Structures are given as structure tokens and as C-alpha cells.
Amino acid sequence: MDGDTKAGNAKGGAEVKKLFIKTYGCQMNVYDSERMAEAMGADGYVLTEAADEADMVLLNTCHIREKASEKLYSDLGRLRPLKLAKPGLKIGVAGCVAQAEGAEILRRMPLVDLVVGPQSYHRLPAMARAADAGGKRVDTEFPVEDKFDHLPARMQGASRGPTAFLTVQEGCDKFCAFCVVPYTRGSEVSRPVARILTEARGLVEKGVREITLLGQNVNAYHGGGPSDLGGGTWGLAQLVRALARIDGLERIRYTTSHPNDMDDALIAAHGEEAKLMPYLHLPVQSGSDRILKAMARKHTVEQYLRLVERIRAARPDMLLSGDFIVGFPGETEADFQATMDLVAAVNYGMAYSFRYSARPGTPAAEKLPVPTVEADERLQRLQALLIQQQRAAQQGMVGREVQVLFEKPGREPGQMVGKSDYLHAVHVTGAEARRGAIARVRITDSGPNSLGGTLTSKMW
């Protein structure tokens, strides 16, 4: 969920300026990095994978946990020799640390030329030009204009893989007591349906067959419907059904959802819409009502378990994934045990778990944390259980037939790797699977991080 990625696609050429982007944090940042690269592309920048040949380095940051945040400063430290050797090099900081710390970044790290928040990155090219003229710039506004209206259309001329992210909603109004997102991303805003459909069609024309709809609170989506399709305000289910009618788009996913926004229409869509994949990331954070209340999650354990039942009634094979925080202030051993019980009751196919990290400006940061040693010990126990469930879910796939969208060559010669409907990595050897092709695969073995199988259908 928050692995770091480095963007590539260098084209070379003498006159072009080179842009190196490092992306930290969640999928929304991955999407934003792509859009920033496209915006800079219009100003003559091409992406490079080598920071030392770049004319501009952009760090698209994450503020969610202390460790994630601190990475920015250690990476900036590593860029210092580069900047000294090449004074024309521009260094920009984007993303959630940029939003949270703004001008403080320039004070702490004078080598930085510009700081741009997640809502103002359509202004990045202008800021970069200003930096060329010697100015330092900080823009962490939540502007009235919609940045998407001021960004170039997607991927002009670029070639890409068969899967893509598409941001449909941004921001969060939930204010969980531990979380910085409502502050760094602002309040919930949904993009209009027509814009999303246009972007999706454009992606499909470029060969994309699977789209993951993104939002910090994606299932709270409530975008304006196009007048030719009845207008009104659309929920995520309605949006998914409209997207499913796009020829050539084969698979739809969405992330991340809050349990309270999982409405009946969306649950029903999982039972009825074949293109909507049977994988749902539905974070609960804790299995203790007392802690859920202190976290301001606004739901109980019972409500979450009933919701899981309803989802599985609509789609019995749904693979559920979750997020957990261990060591939230006030968490006792009994509270932690309740989390273990909830995990046992739900049986997750996949999960992310974190030790609580106090974030400046959030209500929980005022409270006394659980001692680190204790929290770490709990985290280990939780992770052992979650890994056991994940392995069991993978093992349970052996002998079953799944649909795989092939994405790239595997490590071994003649091997192709793709994702199953359930988001498991699946590799097939010697079958001449094409990148971007979909086929049915019988799973024959389950390794620690991926499944292996053989084709049982033609590719399409």
C-alpha cells in the first residue's frame, strides 16, 4: 500500500529536460505523480530513472506515519551533493508532507526550490519556470479551481501497461483521531461522472483493461451525473456500472473504502457486475469497541462484522483486505486480543498492519502512547496471524481456475506474471502469454508471494 516507487520512461534526446520523480505513500500519490509528469511533459520534460542525470527532482511525499515523513529529509540529504555539483538542478517537494509542512521544508532544507501541495500541483510547471528564474515557491493552497481542469489530458503519446489508477474522489471528512489525511488532502471532493468516463475511455484507448478507482474515501463518492444520463448525484455503484459499459474495459477495482460508506447499492453491484473484481480493501483498524470509539471510527465491531456478512452474501468469494493499527493510545492487552478475535472471525486474504505513530496536529497525538516494546510485540503477533490467513487464502486457490490479466515478464525465461481477479500475483511459464492479455488459469502451486498456474483458455 505504501511502497515507494520510482517513475521511469526516459526518452533521451539532447534538448529535453529530464525529470526524476520519487513517489512515496499511497496509490493516490502514484496517480498524482503520473499527472505531474504529464503536466511537466507539456513543458518539455521527460521522465528519467536516474536522479543524477535529472534537471529536476520531484519528491512526492507521504505524511501518514513518522517514518514515512522522515524519509523525505533523509532523501533530501542524499540529494545535496547532486545539487552542489549541478546548481541548475531544481528540487521540488510535493504531496502530503509538502501540504503539512509547507515553507518549513524550505527553512529546514534550503536546497529545495519549490513546495507544492496535492491540491495545487497543476501549478507545478509555472512554479518550475519561476524557480528557473531564481525564485523559491511554496503553494499549499486549496484553490477554488479544480486542478483536473488545468491538467493536460492523460498520457499524450505515452505507452503504458494494461492497468491504471484513476482518482475519482479526494480528501476525507472522517477525521479519525490518528490520521493526517483530512488535513493534508482537505475535505471530500468528488469529480464529476462525465470527466471520469472521458478519462477512463481515454485510458482504454491506450490499451488499459483494468482501472482502479481511487479516493481516500472512495466509497463516499458522490459526483454530479451527466445530464444526458439523468443528472443528479451518483454514488460509487452507479459510477462503476457506467464504467462497466465501456467496451474494452474488463476489470474495475476501487480503494480505499470506509465501512460506513459501504451502501446497499455498492454491495449489490458486487453480486451483479462481473467486471467489478472480488477484492475489497475494507480497513477496520481495531477489533475493540472502546478503541474504535477513541479512534473516532464511528462504527462498532458488530456493525463491521454484519457488513462483512452482507458483502459475502452478495459475493461469497470476496477476498477481503484490511488495515490495522496496533498500540493506539489506551490500547490494553484485552483490546488487542479483541483485534485478534476480529481477525479470526473475518479471515482476511490480505492485510496491512502498522504500529501507531503519533502525528502532529491530530487529536490522538495529545494522548499517552502504548510503550513501543509492547506495541511492537503486539504487532508481531497480529502480523503472524494475518500472514497465516494470507497464506491459507493463497493455498485455497490451488486447484481453482482464476482469470489473470498479464502485466509483465516474470523472473524466469518464458514466464509472464499477472494479477488474478483476487489480486494475487500469478505466474505462468512457457505459455506465450502476452502483456495485456487475459486468460483463465488453473492454479497449481502457491509460493510465499505469488501463485503459479497453467493456462486453461485462449487469451483475449
Helix (H) or strand (E) run with residue 224 in it: strand 223-224
357 binding partner (options ligand SAH, ligand F3S, ligand SF4, none; Cβ < 5 to 8 Å by kind):
ligand SAH
Asked if 39 and 121 count as a contact pair (C-beta separation under 8 A), the reply is: yes
Q: Is 256 in the site for ligand SAH (CB under 6 A)?
A: yes
Q: Is 191 in the site for ligand SAH (CB under 6 A)?
A: no
- Dihedrals φ, ψ of 140, to 5°? -125, 30
Q: Is 25 in the site for ligand F3S (CB under 6 A)?
A: yes
Q: Is 327 in the site for ligand SAH (CB under 6 A)?
A: no
Of 17, 63, 61, the closest CA to residue 37 belongs to 17
Binding flags for ligand F3S, 145-164, as an x/- string (CB under 6 A): --------------------
Known binding residue 96? Answer is yes
The nearest distance, CB 68 to ligand F3S, in angstroms, is 6
Helix, strand, coil shares, percent, the chain, to 5: 40, 25, 40
Neighbouring C-alpha atoms within 13 Å toward the C-beta of 255: 22
The span of 52-60, 66-74, 167-175, 377-385 binding ligand SF4 (CB under 6 A) equals 167-175
Q: Is 62 in the site for ligand F3S (CB under 6 A)?
A: yes
Beta strands 163-167 and 210-214 are parallel
3 state DSSP class of 254:
strand
**Choice between 99 and 403, CB closer to ligand F3S:** 99
Q: Scanning residues 88 to 117, which ones bind ligand F3S (CB under 6 A)?
A: 95-96
Binding flags for ligand SF4, 170-189, as an x/- string (CB under 6 A): --x-xxx--x-xx-------
Quote the CA–CA distance of 313 and 268 in Å, as a whole number: 10
Asked if 185 and 118 count as a contact pair (C-beta separation under 8 A), the reply is: yes
Binding flags for ligand SF4, 116-155, as an x/- string (CB under 6 A): ----------------------------------------
Cell, residue 43: 513543458
Between CA 268 and CA 274, with CA 272 as vertex, the angle to 5 degrees is 130
63 binding partner (options ligand SF4, ligand F3S, ligand SAH, none; Cβ < 5 to 8 Å by kind):
ligand F3S
Asked if 308 and 257 count as a contact pair (C-beta separation under 8 A), the reply is: no
Q: Is 65 in the site for ligand SAH (CB under 6 A)?
A: yes
Quote the CA–CA distance of 3 and 26 in Å, as a whole number: 8
Quote the CA–CA distance of 458 and 297 in Å, as a whole number: 46
359 binding partner (options ligand F3S, ligand SAH, ligand SF4, none; Cβ < 5 to 8 Å by kind):
ligand SAH
Quote the CA–CA distance of 448 and 446 in Å, as a whole number: 7
Between CA 112 and CA 117, with CA 115 as vertex, the angle to 5 degrees is 155
Binding site for ligand SF4 (CB under 6 A): 172, 174-176, 179, 181-182, 216-217, 258
Binding site for ligand F3S (CB under 6 A): 2, 25-26, 28-29, 62-64, 95-96, 180-181, 184-185, 216
Binding residues for [4Fe-4S] cluster: 26, 62, 96, 172, 176, 179
Binding site for ligand SAH (CB under 6 A): 64-65, 178-179, 181, 216-217, 256, 258, 283, 285, 323, 325, 354, 356-357, 359
